Amino acid sequence: MTTPAAPAPLFNPCIVIPVYDHEHAIKTVAARVLAHGLPLILVDDGSDAACAHALDQLAAAAPERVTLVRLARNQGKGGAVLSGLRHAAGAGFTHMLQIDADGQHRTDDIPAFVALARAQPHALIVGCPVYDESVPKLRLYARYLTHVWVWINTLSFDIRDSMCGFRVYPIAPVMALAARRKLGLRMNFDTDVLVRLYWDGLRVVNVPTRVGYPSDGVSHFRMWRDNVLITRMHATLLCGMLLRLPVLLARKWRRR
């Protein structure tokens, strides 16, 4: 008797964009994202009146395709992404594509990211930036400090770039992680969640994608505050790596 084939894992993706005072870019970004046919969740992270109005217009223009989640006060990028993720989980989505609101990411790459997530539903699909000449050189070089710490804290080069905000998450593992661990809520989120999901055993698929800086000239990176948070995060992750050292070494040995 032939054993019936196991059903394919459910795959129901959406796109989440955290938005904080990007009224000049978000309409163009949203239009380009919606062209790819996926439901869109916009998370208003306590934006000012001009941006809030732009988001209201986007939601009203396509209510069947756009959901607006509004946070009463600014929670930071990580807080906004997690709010979008919880809403996506509640709406029955299995995967969430995260993309930034300022237009720096190439939305034409969305189908490739989604196809990879469909083919490997338990993996993290992570953008690996290919920068154009618009990238500030100091920021480009400074990213390598984080890259080195991530390579140390994972004992691998599996994560090529942990800071790119263009990626696809399987929702259930992130929800489980957030339930047991407080994650970084600001610019430390992207790296923090990625390293911890890697520790949990999720595979990382790196996808080259072109990145520019940014279309509306707005950056919410706060030099002192965010660098302190990122430094503290790396120190905490280092302690976590040392506690997990036997497991990480065993994983490396199995892959040899």
- The rounded average pLDDT for each run of 10 residues, N- to C-terminus, in the chain (256 residues) is 58 97 94 97 96 97 96 93 97 97 94 98 96 70 83 94 95 96 85 95 96 64 61 85 87 75
Give the model's pLDDT for residue 40.
98
Residue 44 CB neighbours (<10 A): 24
Q: What's the CA gap between 163 and 182, in Å, rounded?
A: 18
Give the model's pLDDT for residue 216.
54
Give the model's pLDDT for residue 85.
97
Give the model's pLDDT for residue 236.
86
Give the model's pLDDT for residue 69.
97
pTM, entire model: 0.87
